[in-house]
Chains A and B, each alone.
Chain A
Amino acid sequence: EPEVTQTPSHQVTQMGQEVILRCVPISNHLYFYWYRQILGQKVEFLVSFYNNEISEKSEIFDDQFSVERPDGSNFTLKIRSTKLEDSAMYFCASSELGGSSYEQYFGPGTRLTVT
């Protein structure tokens, strides 16, 4: 069964460093998403991406964050200068289309630890 994959599973970085989290969505899907869960809190939406551009973003997704689909398979989230409060589990998701009845399929997450 097709699945969303994410690398690395765990990333440790120092405050102020740039990190890139990578995702391979399901191959025929057109919509891509990033969510995150800070320990003990709810899963939060960051951004959605369609047709090579951001279609929706939350207040969390400020200028420190960017997303890219550098080739036909990868979808990346870059954090330019990490802060301690960026420590969280980051989930990538994809859906076939963007309508109400379409499931969003999640990857297993990347745990980002900022020290």
Chain B
Amino acid sequence: ILNVEQSPQSLHVQEGDSTNFTCSFPSSNFYALHWYRWETAKSPEALFVMTLNGDEKKKGRISATLNTKEGYSYLYIKGSQPEDSATYLCAFKGAGNMLTFGGGTRLMVKP
């Protein structure tokens, strides 16, 4: 059974704070790591697909890094805004097409 873990489970920050959270995953049989942003009652929104060790991806104020040798990825949000409030999910992809999800980090940004 693959173990994908995210920490923290939830996070409260003030508007303007920068924040980061972690996804840990198996370092063997790694093909890709997906990050999603999920607001309640909406579709999970694809943020990044990361495949190479050392990958860094950026979309606006959100960026992510990947370390496949030690099995972790960080998601960073610079200058958090209330609209960043959501659950952030990571998902590990091995040899097949199945995604194995972490439990998510629920971010709440207070104005």
Check B43 against A48 for contact (C-beta < 8 Å). Answer: no
Q: Say what secondary structure dominates the interface of chain B.
A: loop
Binary interface profile of A, 6-38, with partner B (CB < 8 Å = 1, else 0)? 000000000000000000000000010101000
The interface residues of chain A lying within 8 Å CB-to-CB of B46 are 103-106
Check A45 against B99 for contact (C-beta < 8 Å). Answer: yes
Interchain nearest-CB distance for B31 vs A (Å): 4
Interchain nearest-CB distance for A17 vs B (Å): 25
A56 in complex: contacting residue of B4, B44, B98, B103, CB < 8 Å: B98
The interface residues of chain A lying within 8 Å CB-to-CB of B13 are none
Any A CB within 8 A of the CB of B100: yes
Bound-complex Cα distance A101 to B99 (A): 12
Any A CB within 8 A of the CB of B60: no
Any B CB within 8 A of the CB of A64: no
Any A CB within 8 A of the CB of B89: yes
The interface residues of chain A lying within 8 Å CB-to-CB of B86 are none
12 example contacts (A-B, Cβ-Cβ < 8 A) are as follows A42-B104, A48-B97, A58-B98, A91-B44, A98-B97, A101-B49, A103-B46, A103-B49, A104-B97, A105-B43, A105-B46, A109-B43
